[in-house]
Amino acid sequence: MNTPFDPDPTQVRRSLVARLRASFLTGLVVIAPVGLTIWLIWSVIGWIDGFVLPLVPKAYHPDRLLQDFLGLDPSLQFNVRGLGVVIFLIFTIMVGWAAKGLIGRSMIRFAESLVERTPVVRTIYSGIKQISETIFAQSERSFETACLIEYPRRGIWALGFISTEAKGEVLKRTGANGEMLSVFLPTTPNPTSGFLLFVPRTDVIELDMSVEDAAKLVISAGLVYPPRPGTDLPEALALSDPEDSAEHRG
């Protein structure tokens, strides 16, 4: 016989389902980055091996060396990856070392002069070179501070990154009396594209969060916030518990 004080079975089932769902989402948040990282690394290694290994004699392929070392049947196939990556790294380091020398720089200038004379190749090469220098070039300058600015109008705030102080003609033409900052305003969820804005320093609010945390916030479209004070868990994990979420909303 049920009494008014007995728990409602429907509410109990809903609470159990909610907790299982929260645990599943928490596990997904933990597993997905690890799994995707492993898959991406494995795929890149396989792609590099597929490009480099055909240039290496078969006697030096890792699967052949493993078969000879263990005395196994040559018909057995092993998916051993990594030799192509090692060869690629060694080759790239050697090219970089040679490019720093006088002879290497002279050869590069000569090759680029030939490329500049070829109409179609010149356009493709210059574009790829600019992208490569932007991504891979070693530079002392980088985004050091995340910030908030009112964009695209007053009352609406956008997350950006302070790159440098505006100088020269840009500062002169704006007619600003104080400092002007160049702020990169990334798009979501692809932060590699965005807008370059020149904003008065007085209109920029610098944030305490790191650039990495701000980038995560942009990429996740506002779903992943920096860890809350007193916990090492990101906001996505800290609020995965339905009870904790209710407290946060309250």
The DSSP string of 196-245 is: EEEEEGGG-EE-SS-HHHHHHHHHTTT--PPPPTT-SS-HHHHT-SHHHH
The neighbour count for residue 126, using CB atoms within 10 Å, is 13
pLDDT value of residue 152: 92
- Written as six digits, the tokens of 225 are 């916030």
SS3 at position 180: strand
- Tell me if 145 sits within 8 A of 161, measured CB to CB: yes
Pick from 200, 202, 226, 201: nearest CA to 215:
226
Q: Tokens in use for 80?
A: 């051993």
Beta partners for residue 164, in sequence order = 182
Q: Which helix (H) or strand (E) holds 160?
A: strand 157-165
Sign, CA torsion 170/173/179/184: negative
Query: Residue 20's pLDDT is what?
Result: 85
SS3 at position 159 = strand
What local confidence, expressed as pLDDT, does residue 200 receive?
92
Structure tokens at 181: 């900052």
The radius of gyration computed from the CA coordinates of the chain, to the nearest angstrom, equals 28
Q: What's the pLDDT at 71?
A: 72
Query: pLDDT per position in the chain (250 positions), as tens?
Result: 455 555 566 666 678 888 888 888 878 777 887 888 888 888 888 888 888 878 878 777 777 777 777 777 766 666 677 777 888 888 888 888 888 888 888 888 888 888 888 888 888 888 887 777 666 655 545 688 999 999 999 999 999 999 888 888 888 888 777 789 999 999 998 888 899 999 999 999 999 999 999 999 999 888 888 876 655 545 545 544 544 444 444 4
Question: Are 189 and 218 a contacting pair, CB within 8 Å?
Answer: yes
**Residue 158 has what pLDDT?**
95
How far apart CA 60 and CA 82 sit, in angstroms, is 13
| Of the candidates 71, 87, 67, 70, the residue with the CA atom closest to the CA atom of residue 79 | 67
- pLDDT at 4 (0 to 100): 54
